[in-house]
Amino acid sequence: MSAELETIAHPDKESLAADTAERVLDVVVAAQEDRGGASVVLTGGSMGTAVLAALASSARREEVDWARVDVWWSDERFVAGDSPERNSVQAAEAVGDALALNPDRVHRMGSADDFDAAEDAAFDYRRELAAAADAELRTEAFPRFDLLLLGLGPDGHVASLFPGLPHVHEDDATVLGVQDSPKPPPERVSMTLPMINSAERVWFLVAGADKAEAVAAVRAGAPVERTPGAGVRGTEETLLLVTEDCLPG
């Protein structure tokens, strides 16, 4: 079962980031109260980073036991481990020392320093996901995700699933190496749509008038080969958190 898409508009990027951070805190607090831990899948991009910075500066951040939060990524650029292009590097810079995360529960995708090819890094991430699933006694090859955050490109791509590439039609909930990304760098690692859609809550974070066409296509349910983001639905909640300039006037 999947949740219908709900659109929530904000006047600007700052209010979008602040509101999303508060929503993230609500989800994580509830998950920890329910079962002791929480699992969040992060995204890159300017809005993903802005939300993390807002979390780090929130007066409510002490409500969470960050050492009991698992952090994953929906995709990553296959470049050097310390490259500023990497989503995990941007996330670490946004958060700094404000959140006392357990390093063993921060699951970064492998870099070009660790592996020869993106598919090797993807295979390694699949093994890490499977190990987490085994620890949770799940039958699936991946753990429970309480929340998954996504950006949306002007072309409608999500994670590193780009229009026209075969990856958007992958049926398995898995992690793939992407060799031919139309947006540099060409090599990436990405969760597939079925794995993204396994998350209980999936939230798009979208800001800027240049994303208006993509937002409209997602809301209209465009074909996934043209707009991969249109194929995204969480099992319990799907939110399109946008700035007002993303919507029709």
Task: Indicate if the pLDDT at residue 249 is higher than 80.
Answer: no
Check residue 97 and give its pLDDT.
92
The answer to whether 199 and 145 are in contact (CB under 8 A) is yes
Mean pLDDT to the nearest integer, 163-169: 94
Check residue 248 and give its pLDDT.
85
Check residue 38 and give its pLDDT.
98
Q: What is the largest CA-CA distance in the chain?
A: 49
State how far the Cα of 99 lies from the Cα of 56, in Å rounded to an integer.
Answer: 6
State how far the Cα of 195 lies from the Cα of 199, in Å rounded to an integer.
Answer: 7
Q: Are β-strands 69-73 and 175-178 bridged in parallel, bridged antiparallel, or unpaired?
A: unpaired
Check residue 1 and give its pLDDT.
53
pLDDT in tens, 97-137: 999 999 999 999 999 999 999 999 999 999 999 999 999 99
Beta bridge partners of 237: 201
The answer to whether 130 and 174 are in contact (CB under 8 A) is no
Averaged pLDDT score across all residues of the chain: 97
**Poorest-confidence range of 2-11, 125-134, 201-210?**
2-11
What are residue 193's phi and psi, to 5 degrees?
Answer: -60, -45
The answer to whether 19 and 54 are in contact (CB under 8 A) is no
pLDDT in tens, 43-87: 999 999 999 999 999 999 999 999 999 999 999 999 999 999 999
- Cα separations (Å) of 83 from 15, 119, 197? 29, 19, 29
pTM: 0.97
**Domains in the chain, please, with CATH?**
5-246 (3.40.50.1360)
pLDDT in tens, 141-150: 999 999 999 9
The answer to whether 211 and 176 are in contact (CB under 8 A) is no
Check residue 233 and give its pLDDT.
97
**Three-class DSSP category at 189:** strand
